[in-house]
Amino acid sequence: MALSANEQVRYWGIGLVLVLVAMWLLGNVLLPFITGMTIAYFLDPVADRLERAGASRALATTLITLTAMLVILLLVIVLGPLLVKQTAAFVTALPEYVSQFQKFISTRFPEFFDETSAVRQGLGTLVEFIRSKGGELANAVLASAFTIVDVAIFIVVAPVVAFYMLLDWDRMVATIDSWVPRDHLETVRYLARQVDNVLAGFVRGQLTVCAILGTFYAVALMAVGLQFGIVVGLIAGLLTFIPYVGSIIGGALSIGLALFQFWDTPIWIAAVLAIFIAGQMIEGNFLTPKLVGRSVGLHPVWLMFALSAFGSFMGFTGMLIAVPVAACLGVFFRFGVGQYLDGRLYKGLADEEQADG
């Protein structure tokens, strides 16, 4: 006996609530599995192409896994020591930069640095705090990073999960498809295709944009001689995933460093500013339209809200699933609006009477 629409909504609603509660309770326990599933999703098209070229699924998965591990190992070997060195040097030099800023302000605007001025007292306290706590702060940041992105996740658990997910991806999709209620099979398949198109268009494209911009900023800032250029460039590229945040934070950091380093040679300050302007022009006029596309349906405001909401709800794991969930909700919302515009609630009875007449 078929279930009524109200009963179906009730059962699906209960299932959704149970999934959300389980995800909230498990939290970071799910992180290696979500990470492995995400990697498998990104690499599945590559495996499909290798299969079409004549390789078995097992051989294609093995080749992709070995290649990915080799690339990651090379990046760690080449960039790891340099990033650690520049990050430590930046934390060490930060008190000096604050002192130079204080001297500059006191020279140009002495009225702000009267003995009883709150500005002077605040900056003095900040400098002393950074000098006394700079090393502890750096160690805490590194410790937090290794807690969130635990070494075992990426060296052991996540690659293993990704390997088996990639190996059985097509089989899992077919199995899930066989579980879909037959009355709604075509609708669910349509929605799944729409979600896949959004994720493929946005996530894969946006990650490519981040990689290109991060490399461009790092190389360009190093070329003009900016200290810590690699760290700033990679931070700006990574944060490009969040609309406007990467360009704002990266630009502020690089221009602030350039003001201290190239104060006597304004041409290099202008060069750093030109690098970020060029990066934004390249991103907005070429990279994003070509690699991400205009029709993915994820508005920047909606994306930032999803990242903030899921980040506060589930921490790093929440941020990892924020974009897929936002894409799904966007597809479902547009589908619901379409159903509403085609339904009686929107058109009313007059439309049906006119059609019957």
Cβ neighbours of residue 302 closer than 8 Å, sequence gap 6 or more: 326, 330
Assess whether pLDDT exceeds 80 at residue 73.
yes
Report if pTM > 0.85.
no
**Lookup: tokens for 46:** 């590559």
Confidence of residue 2 (pLDDT cuts 50, 70, 90): low
What HEC string does the chain produce? CCCCHHHHHHHHHHHHHHHHHHHHHHHHHHHHHHHHHHHHHHHHHHHHHHHHCCCCHHHHHHHHHHHHHHHHHHHHHHHHHHHHHHHHHHHHHHHHHHHHHHHHHHHHCHHHHCCCCHHHHHHHHHHHHHHHHHHHHHHHHHHHHHHHCCHHHHHHHHHHHHHHHHHCHHHHHHHHHHHCCHHHHHHHHHHHHHHHHHHHHHHHHHHHHHHHHHHHHHHHHHHCCCCCHHHHHHHHHHHCCCCCHHHHHHHHHHHHHHHHHCCCCHHHHHHHHHHHHHHHHHHHHHHHHHHHCCCCCCCHHHHHHHHHHHHHHHHHHHHHHHHHHHHHHHHHHHHHHHHHHCCHHHHHHHHHHHHHC
- Which tens digits make up the pLDDT trace of 86-124? 667 766 766 776 676 666 666 666 655 566 666 666 656
Percent of the chain residues past pLDDT 70, beyond the cut: 73
Does 58 have pLDDT greater than 80?
yes
Average pLDDT over residues 307-313: 78
Give me the pLDDT at residue 303, please.
Answer: 74
Of 64-68, 206-210, 231-235, 291-295, give the range with the top mean pLDDT: 64-68
Query: Closest Cα partner for 38 from 184, 196, 162, 170?
Result: 162
CA distance 120 to 321: 44
Q: What is the pLDDT of residue 34?
A: 81
Q: Which residues contact 32 (CB under 8 A, 6 or more apart)?
A: 153, 157, 158, 161
pLDDT over 90 (residue 203): no
**Region 299-307 average pLDDT:** 75
Tokens matching residue 162: 């990704």
Please give the pLDDT value at position 145: 47
Predicted confidence (pLDDT) at residue 181 exceeds the cutoff of 90: no
User: Looking up tokens 């629409």, which residue turns up?
Assistant: 5
Looking at residue 243, its amino acid is: P
* Segment among 127-141, 195-209, 256-270 with least mean pLDDT: 127-141
pLDDT of residue 298: 67
Determine the longest span between alpha carbons in the chain, in angstroms.
88
pLDDT at 60 over 90: yes
Nearest C-alpha neighbor of 344 from the set 334, 355, 335, 333: 355
Average pLDDT of the segment spanning 3-29: 76
Is the model more confident about 229 or about 299?
A: 229
Q: Which residue has the higher pLDDT, 332 or 6?
A: 332
Amino acid, res. 300: P
In this predicted structure, what is the pLDDT of residue 37? 87
Confidence of residue 304 (pLDDT cuts 50, 70, 90): confident
Q: Which residue has the tokens 């992180």?
A: 31
The pLDDT tens digits for 278-292 are: 888 888 788 877 776
Entry field: residues in the chain: 357
pLDDT value at 186 more than 80: yes
How high is the pLDDT of residue 24?
Answer: 76
For position 356, what pLDDT does the model report? 56
What number is the average pLDDT over the span 59-75? 88
Q: How confident is the model at residue 168 (pLDDT cuts 50, 70, 90)?
A: very high
pLDDT at 49 over 90: yes
CA-to-CA separations, 240 to 76, 217, 283, 285, 322, in angstroms, rounded: 21, 12, 10, 15, 16
Q: What is the mean pLDDT of the chain?
A: 77
CA atoms within 13 A on the CB side of 277: 6
pLDDT greater than 50 at residue 300? yes
pLDDT at 268 over 90: no
Phi-psi region of 114 (alpha: psi -120 to 50; beta: other; left: phi over 0): beta
